[in-house]
Amino acid sequence: MRRLAVPLLLAAVLCGCSTTEPGSPSAGQRAVDAPATGSSTGSAPVARPKAVDMKALDPCTLYTAEVKSALGVRLVTERPALADYGQGSRTCSNNYEDATYSSSIYTLVNGGVDRLRQTVGEAELTPARVAGYPAYVDGRDVSGIGPACDVYLDANDGQLLLVNAVGGFGEDKSTVDGACAQAKKLAEAVGAVLATK
């Protein structure tokens, strides 16, 4: 799953493709004062600020003016969906004022945490809590591309929000730790917005 995202991100960033298609409306409103619970595995409930249907989410709407300003986001572009992430998944990429890293947000609608553990491998994932959501971090050096880091938010039962950062586009100062720091900052910012959807 993750191995495909980085090469496609690189291709999209390098070709500079963009679209002006409007986003789809976000999921219905629900009170956010109590954590939403659900079960990604069918066993214990999952504590989330809010369970959000990834099939109804336009990830580009998570880049609010506040998020852009706080993180120095320069350009946000909707990208073609990745078939590996399920029918109805969506992708949105961004560039920063500081060009060391670029990022993308993906909606994964064809499996949750259990599928993630099988496809990426549990040993590769570091559990975390990001913007109140259970999360999993996977940082690595991708041959031919450079440092990369994926942060997966357990956004809904059987669905994930993937936030990544990729470096190495001619920038010698990019590192795996730096990519993870960038991905986590973006995940915290957009995760807070996600909880309001």
Distance CA 72, CA 69 (A): 5
Measuring CA to CA, how many Å separate 58 from each of 137, 171, 194? 22, 30, 10
Q: What is the DSSP string of 43-79?
A: SS-EEES----GGG--GGGG--HHHHHHHTEEEEEEE
Q: What ranges do the domains of the chain cover?
A: 2-14+49-194
pLDDT of residue 171: 59
pLDDT of residue 40: 46
Contact 119, 136 (CB under 8 A): no
98 or 16, greater pLDDT: 98
Nearest Cα neighbor of 19 from 60, 49, 50 is 60
pLDDT of residue 4: 45
Per-residue pLDDT for 30 more than 80? no
pLDDT of residue 102: 94
Distance CA 190, CA 80 (A): 20
Nearest Cα neighbor of 146 from 177, 124, 167 is 167
| Average pLDDT of the residues in 17-42 | 36
CATH 3.40.50 is right for the domain spanning 2-14+49-194: no
**Single-letter residue type at 58:** D
144 or 73, greater pLDDT: 73
Distance CA 13, CA 24 (A): 23
The pTM score is 0.78
pLDDT of residue 173: 85
Q: pLDDT for 77-127, tens place per residue?
A: 999 999 999 999 999 999 999 989 999 999 999 999 999 999 999 999 999
Q: pLDDT for 150-197, tens place per residue?
A: 999 999 999 999 999 999 665 578 999 999 999 999 999 999 999 999
| Average pLDDT of the residues in 44-60 | 94
